[in-house]
Amino acid sequence: MKTIDLHVHSTASDGTVSPADLVAMAAALPLCAFALTDHDTTDGIDKARKAALSVPGAPEVIPGIELSTDFFGTDIHIVGLDLSYQDPAFQSFLASLRQNRLEKNQTMIDRMKHDGIPISYEQMTSAFGEQVWTRAHFARYLLSLGLVSSIPEAFDRYIGDHCPYYVAGKKISSSEAVSVIRRFGGIPVLAHPLQYHFNDTKLRTLIHDLKSAGLIGMEVYYSSYTLPQEQYLCLLAEEFSLLPGGGSDFHGDNKPEIHLGTGTGTLAIPPEILQQLRRANSSGLNVKQA
């Protein structure tokens, strides 16, 4: 059975597999499509699409993005699919987000350096190039220094929320991200809604606000979700007239337990999920105001 994966990262942001190699990996799997959804950048999309032209059985490469946003102090991620990613106005918008991220990363570097950790912008660039850095890059750098024994430990001790070197940075609101994605022809999807650890009331408030801004889908299917969690999210999606979406959130070696297409081994998203999202988007439908 052919499947899809609508949440995948490459070396253009915090994945460890290049866009071209992702295509080769996907072609060896029963995947008919995957969305490249790097953080705040679309730099990998053309590379993946070019590679797909020369790979037999290559799946469709869906142009995507994952935006980090703010919802009353919580970092919320919004995935955009089928974007007009080459639009100069959209690229200008992304450039402003990357500048905000650059300032945040410099603050993290300054704080670590102040506390005696041997780190600099030049050292990070030498290690990771000019790609969009996320906290995963800092975790890998701390691991390379021997300060931690694993990436999860880096988050637990150094850079996770409420840790000494966590910097929130400037973010757009979650509703604004949804509106921007719609403005550039994309399908906005709330990423991994249970990862924010909201209670039911707060999660409903988030979904209601995003629905009002034009949200079309919600990740009902995700690598770490149990069947009861999927069922709960399916009911929420139906209640708010949202369509189900989902993906593995593949990052390569940064999340070694997560595999492309199958997550932890049981993920199997049918192509009909993508078809439904596309039909809703092409109709100009906000599906239904909640």
Task: Write down the number of H helices and E strands in the chain.
Answer: 10, 8
DSSP per-residue codes, 14-52: T-SS-HHHHHHHHHTTTEEEEEE--BT--TTHHHHHHHH
- Separation CA 191–CA 68 (nearest Å): 10
- Cα(233)–Cα(214) distance, rounded to whole angstroms? 18
Tokens 């009353």, residue located: 72
pLDDT digits (tens, 9 = 90+) for 97-115: 999 989 999 999 999 999 9
- Per-residue pLDDT 10s for the chain (290 aa) are 899 999 999 999 999 999 999 999 999 999 999 999 999 999 999 999 999 999 998 999 999 999 999 999 899 999 999 999 999 999 999 999 999 989 999 999 999 999 999 999 999 999 988 778 889 899 999 999 999 999 999 999 999 988 999 998 889 999 999 999 999 999 999 999 999 999 999 999 999 999 999 999 999 999 999 999 999 999 999 999 999 999 999 999 989 999 999 999 999 999 999 999 999 999 875 544 33
pLDDT tens string 117-168: 999 999 999 998 877 888 989 999 999 999 999 999 999 999 998 899 999 8
pLDDT of residue 286: 57
E strands within 60-100?
60-71, 74-81
| pLDDT at site 285 | 59
Q: Give pLDDT, residue 289.
A: 37
Contacts of 127 (CB under 8 A, 6+ apart): 137, 140, 141, 144
Neighbours of 103 (CB within 10 A): 12
Q: Please check whether residue 36 is in contact with residue 64, taking contact to mean a CB–CB distance below 8 angstroms.
A: yes
Whether 18 and 51 have beta carbons less than 8 Å apart is answered as: no
pLDDT of residue 273: 98
CB atoms within 10 A of CB 94: 18
